[in-house]
Amino acid sequence: MELTTSLGLIVPELVLAVSGLIMLLFAAWGGNEASKPVSIACCVALGGAFALVAPSVCGGYSGPGTLAFYGQLRIDAFAGFAKLMIYASAGAALVVAPRYFDRLNAMKPEFAVLVIFSALGMSIMVSAADLISLYIGLELTSLASYVLASFLRDDDKSAEAGLKYFVLGALASGILLFGSSLIYGFTGSTSFAGISAGMAGGLSGGMLFGLIFVMAGLAFKISAVPFHMWTPDVYEGAPTPVTMFFASAPKVAAVALLARVSLEAFGSQPDAWQQIVTFAAIASIVVGALGAIGQENLKRLLAFSSINNVGFILIGLATATVAGASSMLLYLVFYVAMTVGSFVALLMLTDAEGKPLETFADIKGLSTTRPALAWCLLLIMFSLAGIPPLMGFYGKLVVFQAAVEADLIALAAIGIAASVIGAFYYLKFIKVMFFDEAVDRVQGKADKAQWALLALATLAISPFAWLLTGWLASLADGAAAALFFAA
């Protein structure tokens, strides 16, 4: 009985797992020619999982009915909300990948299979209600990511990115496991509810150590300062579609996981982790803003931009309120749209032979040679800088609003000040594209799929999306309420 209900709850995950396994067979027998059909089929599978998850978000599912497998997974609206973002961004990565790899003759059907399994791992991560399922989901995601980072194995930078990510990721997993074992030892439970109950009486030294280690391990996964050092190197070295994937889906999953661990497992001791999250938030915003200033490589710059954005997301978490969690989810939605948009635009910057162009010197005067692309980038950069009326502003607004309501005025003030610093390099993009002498290096033709994705992302952050904010905010509120219902 338990098994049947549990299986019913995890249908989207089953769809992903089974389609991943079937596609693996096609990949094994079809060879490299099967890349395109396998990519399309994997996109369809992600779409199917998306459609299956959507009702749980719209319905705001919460409560004991959402527990699967004896409380190891929680399939509630919060998990659903994160899953929708994860599946969408994984699908976007699959759409843009073939063109990038085809030029190098490096497209393999395993790419799509690994993305599917990674998405499966992220589904488990965001649904985790137990330290064991947390770790299994995290490891499934990470292992697939390490391989994806070094997918261009003949390229030195890609290989280096994969190795760096692997070594540091393994270290972070070790730290996380060490913390988990301490928490299990001192609270006597691996389930989040049990840990919360075990901590309710007070925080012993061992529990505190465990909590810090778990937070540190998760902070590495979301690349929050001071555990961000790997991000620029990995983002720069990995193939651009993979970088786009890293900057969107796993980040959403790890942030959602961090929120669930903080608010559910450590929910009875919010004071213990609020300082950590507050520090990580401020440090990420400042380091992300300052580190990006000197960068010439656009991928490195976007890596610092993602560190910066994680800081703003963590402000929402630092409040430890329903409004804060809801603002965090809203910020994530627009963050994903902006990330996908900026990386698709980056993918469209190619020279006549299709070689990717990745530095500021290449996009000088882009507005005269490729006006449509330049205007889309302009909107995305303004949105990242948080200029109203674009949606990046709305994301920052709700986060700061939640922080002010939770009496974290100092945190909000520092965040606003640092976002002004951050605006510098976003505006530099626009200055280089619109006011510098044209060099006309961008010659490559972009295909329809790229234009469609870019248009979609730009539309999502354009002022038109204000029309949707009411609906989105109610969904995010439902998801955040589900998170707190569990805690």
Partner 1 sequence: MIQVLAFYLFAIMVIASGALVVLARNPVHSVLWLILAFFNAAGLMILVGAEFIAMLLVIVYVGAVAVLFLFVVMMLNIDFAELRAGFVKNAPLSVAVAVILLAEIVLGIGAYRVGLIELGTPDGTAAPILGESNIENIGILLYSRYLFLFEMAGIILLVAMIGAIVLTHRESRAVRAHQDITKQNMRRPEDATEMKRPEVGQGVEL
CA angle 406, 390, 456 (to 5 degrees): 115
Least CB distance to partner 1 at residue 375 (A)? 39
Q: Max Cα separation, the chain?
A: 69
Least CB distance to partner 1 at residue 198 (A)? 15
Residue positions counted in the chain: 487
Alpha carbon 7 to chain centroid, angstroms? 27
Contacts of 232 (CB under 8 A, 6+ apart): 291, 295, 300, 303, 304
Q: What is the DSSP string of 273-326?
A: HHHHHHHHHHHHHHHHHHHHHT--BHHHHHHHHHHHHHHHHHHHHHT-SHHHHH
406 binds partner 1 (CB under 8 A): no
Q: Which is closer to partner 1, CB of 17 or CB of 208?
A: 17
Site for partner 1 in 56-75 (CB under 8 A): 68-70, 72-73
310 binds partner 1 (CB under 8 A): no
Four-residue CA torsion sign, 121, 380, 98, 53: positive
Least CB distance to partner 1 at residue 143 (A)? 5
DSSP letter for 436, please.
Answer: S
Of the candidate spans 2-10, 49-57, 382-390, 412-420, the one that interacts with partner 1 by CB under 8 A turns out to be 2-10
The answer to whether 119 touches 138, Cβ cutoff 8 Å, is no
Distance CA 482, CA 109 (A): 38
Distance CA 173, CA 220 (A): 9
Least CB distance to partner 1 at residue 41 (A)? 16
Q: Which is closer to partner 1, CB of 144 or CB of 218?
A: 144
3-state secondary structure at position 150: coil
The answer to whether 59 touches 75, Cβ cutoff 8 Å, is no
Binding mask 138-157 for partner 1 (x = CB under 8 A): -xx--xx-xx--xx-x----
101 binds partner 1 (CB under 8 A): no
137 binds partner 1 (CB under 8 A): yes
97 binds partner 1 (CB under 8 A): no
Least CB distance to partner 1 at residue 211 (A)? 23
Q: Which is closer to partner 1, CB of 82 or CB of 379?
A: 82
Least CB distance to partner 1 at residue 147 (A)? 4
3-state secondary structure at position 239: coil
Which of 39, 89, 133, 367 binds partner 1 (CB under 8 A)? It is 133
Least CB distance to partner 1 at residue 11 (A)? 13
Size of the site for partner 1 (CB under 8 A): 33
Q: What is the DSSP string of 441-479?
A: ---PPP-HHHHHHHHHHHHHHSGGGHHHHHHHHHHHHHH
**How crowded is residue 324: how many other Cβ atoms within 10 Å of its Cβ?**
25
The answer to whether 34 touches 27, Cβ cutoff 8 Å, is yes
Of the candidate spans 118-126, 207-215, 346-354, 375-383, the one that interacts with partner 1 by CB under 8 A turns out to be 118-126
Distance CA 193, CA 443 (A): 56
Site for partner 1 in 411-430 (CB under 8 A): none
46 binds partner 1 (CB under 8 A): no
Classify the phi-psi angles of 67: left when phi > 0, otherwise alpha if psi is within -120 to 50, otherwise beta: beta
Least CB distance to partner 1 at residue 125 (A)? 11
Contacts of 7 (CB under 8 A, 6+ apart): 14
Binding mask 327-346 for partner 1 (x = CB under 8 A): --------------------
Q: Which is closer to partner 1, CB of 64 or CB of 470?
A: 64
Which of 114, 216, 347, 433 binds partner 1 (CB under 8 A)? It is 114
Q: Which is closer to partner 1, CB of 88 or CB of 134?
A: 134
Residues 219-237 as b/e (b if ≥16 CB within 10 A, e otherwise) read bbbbbbbebbebbbbbbbb
Least CB distance to partner 1 at residue 336 (A)? 24
Which of 57, 85, 112, 124 binds partner 1 (CB under 8 A)? It is 124
Structure tokens that stand for 29 in this block: 């027998």
Of the candidate spans 109-117, 170-178, 313-321, 392-400, the one that interacts with partner 1 by CB under 8 A turns out to be 109-117
Distance CA 393, CA 426 (A): 14
132 binds partner 1 (CB under 8 A): yes
The answer to whether 338 touches 461, Cβ cutoff 8 Å, is yes
249 binds partner 1 (CB under 8 A): no
Of the candidate spans 79-87, 110-118, 175-183, 398-406, the one that interacts with partner 1 by CB under 8 A turns out to be 110-118
Of the candidate spans 59-67, 120-128, 229-237, 467-475, the one that interacts with partner 1 by CB under 8 A turns out to be 120-128
Least CB distance to partner 1 at residue 183 (A)? 17
**Interface residues toward partner 1, by CB under 8 A:** 3, 6, 10, 17, 20, 24, 68-70, 72-73, 108, 110, 113-114, 117, 120-121, 124, 132-133, 136-137, 139-140, 143-144, 146-147, 150-151, 153, 162
